[in-house]
Amino acid sequence: MKILIVEDEPMLAESIVQYLKKEGYQCEWANNLAYAKEKSWDYEYDCMVVDINLPDGSGLDVIEQIKDMKSKSGIIIVSARNAMDDKIIGLNLGADDYLTKPFDLAELNARIKAIIRRKNFDAQNTTTFNEIEIYHYKKLVKVNDKTLKLTKKEYDLILYFISNPNRVIPKGSIAEHLWGDEMDMADSFDFVYSHLKNLRKKIKQYSCINYIHTVYGIGYKFSDQ
Amino acid sequence: MKLLILSNRYYFIALLIVSIIGGVSSYFLIGSIINREFNKKLYAEKNQLIYELHEFDELLNTLYLNIGDRITLQKVDQDPKIHTNIKDTLLFDFYENKESNFRKITFSEQVKGDFYKITISKPLLSSEDMIQVVTKIVAIITLLFFVTMLLLNNIISKKVWKPFYNTLTRINFFNVVDPKPLTFSKTKVREFRELNSTIEVMINQVVKDYKNLKKSTENTSHEIQTPLAIIKNKIEILMQDDQLSEYHLNILNQVHDFVRRLSKLNQNLSLLSKIDNNQFIEAIPIPIGEYLKKRVEDVEELILMKNISVILNLNENPIIKLDETLAYLLFNNLLNNAIKHNINGGKLILTLSNTHFSIKNTGKPLKIFPEELFKRFKKQGNLPNSTGLGLSIVYSITSYYNFSITYNNEDVWHVIELKF
């Protein structure tokens, strides 16, 4: 899987590349519009993460170029502006998703995976983690071939974890993933906890391994170790 | 008060004082002139009579022919030596058939060897008549003055102040958010020319400052988001390090949370300044009743968690034109606020009519003053995930749409009411 990061801020690009490389992606970085256009012209990427505000122009131009080329690559727009206009223009141009800075790397990772899944769409599309199998098309989770009865939030949660395996994920990031940034409730962490408790219980019905580990003081980690 | 009314008022007062002084003094002046002339006439008549008495023999018998004045001749034995004097007296007036004022001159004279005591009485113009006449004259003059002054004042004001009113209208229509070039009408008056050019300079400066401020607010808020993203992501990467102790992880997590809070704060502040700068202008008609139901569904989970019972009194379904983002923020913030400050097992009552929307929730007593509730950074206690801007945003939105918003607290009930 090849990913192009179009971001003018080297520190930010570095973090993204570092995080995504651990996921097994092949990451490339373009720090300006001209370079990004050149790269996306020369190579076919599975997904591109594009910052709108670039020193030599708008990242929207790259999106236009990619769409003109009829490229299949997925596009995530990243912007410091939480503006509806940018979002609508970007999505209308054919971008697949939109993230506002500052974002969680785990969130970016989950969104990239979702886009790549959609691009390589077929009904049998599944993600497997040991005995856990996720059927994306049917939004179904099976453990040892037995279907779990999950609520929508629990499904989102297990998908998020499986997208970021073996990573320490802070509670705040989970809360933001489930409820968006509108959620500024003091008790959101309690909600995260109660959803997790239920999810753990449901997985345990058909499996003897506890996948969701509590990392004290921070959050959780999805791992089989 | 209008300029015209003010100047009219001064004219009126000045004219009133002048007419009173003029009236009183002309009364006395005219009175004394008439008096002097009257006495002169009486003396003249006395001399004429003496002359006639000496010249004409028949006169003594035909005295009464002298119509108007009353003349009495009284033969006396010896010289009465009367010093000529003038006196006012009441006499019966045959023409008017009543007693009236007369002025009488009394003197003595020797005619053809006999001594006579002679009086000539002349009817006086009554003082009431004089007052009337004087008042009438003064009144007519004053009235003429008034009319002239008012007409003049109106015409002058309209003509002279016209450029001023023009300028005023243009300033009134000026809007800093959507500035159109100001074109003042040309004027010959130097003061107005100066006024116009001063206003033009000031407004240009205001527009420039406003644009700069807006731009720098926007830029600052956007520029802050990128470093925040870097901090956040670096922490996330650091968190994956197995070597870190629980203690270190804990600190990292706290920093991570505060970056989130800082970014949220930044977003909300930039939102507030956007609302205050009228940058949301796309209004679409929103059926409030259905919209509220959707918003309540959004927060259903929170409601369940806190075991809050919700009562929806959606009596009417008004359709109001609002910007979509602002409508969302308005109702979502109100709902979140009512849930956040609610107690476990509490209540939430939403009431909607065509003109009002009220949100009523149970909760702990308020620790801040109710009038400070809508101010920025006023928080109940220290809720870590609260930016203290939620209700300020609500307030900004309501004042943007000219809705009135009130807060009331009765016992455990907190009520926020909106009037569309």
Q: What is the mean pLDDT of each run of 10 residues along chain B (420 residues)?
A: 80 83 83 84 86 76 60 81 84 76 85 83 72 79 83 83 87 80 83 90 90 82 87 91 88 89 84 78 86 88 86 89 87 88 90 91 81 72 64 88 88 88
Judgement on whether residues A109 and A17 belong to the same structural domain of the protein: yes
A170 and B339 within 8 Å at the Cβ level: the answer is no
Q: How many domains does chain A have?
A: 2
Please list the residues that pair with B74 across neighbouring strands: B117
B236 and A216 within 8 Å at the Cβ level: the answer is no
Residue B229 with chain A: CB contacts under 8 Å? 12, 80, 101-103
Judgement on whether residues A12 and A101 belong to the same structural domain of the protein: yes
Of A105, A168, A172, the CB nearest to B260: A172
Q: Please give the CATH superfamily to which domain B283-419 belongs.
A: Histidine kinase-like ATPase, C-terminal domain (3.30.565.10)
For residue B222, what pLDDT is reported?
Answer: 79
In degrees and rounded to multiples of 5, residue A65 shows phi and psi of -60, -45
Judgement on whether residues A17 and A107 belong to the same structural domain of the protein: yes
Structure tokens at A160: 């998020």
Q: Are A181 and B264 in contact (CB under 8 A)?
A: yes
Structure tokens at B87: 């006196």
A80 and B226 within 8 Å at the Cβ level: the answer is yes
CA distances for B72 relative to B61, B106, B129, angstroms: 12, 9, 27
For residue B392, what pLDDT is reported?
Answer: 87
pTM, two decimal places:
0.65
Judgement on whether residues A93 and A172 belong to the same structural domain of the protein: no
Residue B258 with chain A: CB contacts under 8 Å? none
- A142 part of contact set with chain B, CB < 8 Å: no
- Note which residues in 42-101 of chain A have CB less than 8 A from chain B: 53, 80-82, 84, 100-101
Judgement on whether residues A79 and A176 belong to the same structural domain of the protein: no
Residue B284 with chain A: CB contacts under 8 Å? none
For residue B65, what pLDDT is reported?
Answer: 45
For residue A15, what pLDDT is reported?
Answer: 92
Q: What is the pLDDT along chain A (225 residues), one digit of tens a residue?
A: 899 999 999 999 999 999 999 888 999 999 999 999 999 898 989 999 999 888 898 888 999 998 888 888 899 999 887 666 677 888 888 889 999 888 999 999 999 999 988 877 665 678 888 888 898 888 889 888 889 889 888 999 999 999 998 889 988 889 888 887 666 555 677 788 888 999 999 988 888 788 899 988 788 999 887
Residue A15 with chain B: CB contacts under 8 Å? 230, 233-234, 236-237
Judgement on whether residues A173 and A105 belong to the same structural domain of the protein: no
Judgement on whether residues A101 and A145 belong to the same structural domain of the protein: no
For residue A17, what pLDDT is reported?
Answer: 94
- B234 part of contact set with chain A, CB < 8 Å: yes
Of A16, A176, A186, the CB nearest to B383: A186
- A208 part of contact set with chain B, CB < 8 Å: no
Give A41 to chain B, closest Cα distance, Å: 27
For residue B64, what pLDDT is reported?
Answer: 54
B305 and A187 within 8 Å at the Cβ level: the answer is yes
- B284 part of contact set with chain A, CB < 8 Å: no
Interface size A-B, in CB pairs within 8 Å, comes to 114
Name the 3-class secondary structure at A41.
helix
- A213 part of contact set with chain B, CB < 8 Å: no
Name the 3-class secondary structure at B17.
helix
Residue B250 with chain A: CB contacts under 8 Å? 216-218
For residue B8, what pLDDT is reported?
Answer: 80
A215 and B249 within 8 Å at the Cβ level: the answer is yes
Asked if residue A102 has a cis previous peptide bond (ω within 30° of 0), the answer is yes
B229 and A105 within 8 Å at the Cβ level: the answer is no
B250 and A190 within 8 Å at the Cβ level: the answer is no
Of B232, B301, B305, the CB nearest to A104: B232
Compare all CA atoms of chain B with the CA of A166 and give the residue at the minimum distance: B240
Judgement on whether residues A112 and A176 belong to the same structural domain of the protein: no
Judgement on whether residues A35 and A99 belong to the same structural domain of the protein: yes
Q: How far is CA B180 from the centre of its chain?
A: 28
A186 and B259 within 8 Å at the Cβ level: the answer is no
- A154 part of contact set with chain B, CB < 8 Å: no
Residue A49 with chain B: CB contacts under 8 Å? none
Give B323 to chain A, closest Cα distance, Å: 12
Can you give the CATH number for the domain in which A98 is found?
A: 3.40.50.2300
Of B232, B267, B385, the CB nearest to A82: B267
Q: Are B131 and B27 in contact (CB under 8 A)?
A: yes
Render pLDDT for B148-200 as a digit per residue (tens, 0 to 9): 888 888 888 888 888 888 888 888 888 777 777 778 888 888 988 999 999 98
Please list the residues that pair with A126 across neighbouring strands: A135
Give dist(CA B315, CA B296) in Å, integer: 16
Judgement on whether residues A103 and A139 belong to the same structural domain of the protein: no
Residue-range definition of the domain harbouring residue A196: 126-222
List strands edge to edge, sheet with B413-419: B309-314, B347-352, B356-362, B413-419, B404-410
Render pLDDT for A59-70 as a digit per residue (tens, 0 to 9): 889 999 988 888
Instruction: Name the residue among A18, A74, A23 with its Cα closest to residue A46.
Output: A74
Structure tokens at A176: 């933001």
Judgement on whether residues A37 and A92 belong to the same structural domain of the protein: yes
Domain boundary among A103, A119, A135: A119
Can you give the CATH number for the domain in which A137 is found?
A: 1.10.10.10
**In terms of C-beta density within 10 A (0-12 exposed, 13-18 middle, 19 or more buried), how is residue B209 classed?**
exposed
Domain boundary among A71, A100, A119: A119
Judgement on whether residues A134 and A103 belong to the same structural domain of the protein: no
Domain boundary among A119, A147, A169: A119
CB-based contacts of B292-297 (< 8 A; 24+ apart in sequence): B292/B331, B292/B350, B292/B352, B292/B357, B295/B328, B295/B331, B295/B332, B295/B335, B296/B335, B296/B350
A102 and B231 within 8 Å at the Cβ level: the answer is yes
Taking the domains of chain B in order of start, what are their residue ranges? Answer: 3-148, 172-279, 283-419
B246 and A217 within 8 Å at the Cβ level: the answer is yes
Instruction: Name the residue among A153, A139, A158, A140 with its Cα closest to residue A200.
Output: A158
B249 and A194 within 8 Å at the Cβ level: the answer is no
- B50 part of contact set with chain A, CB < 8 Å: no
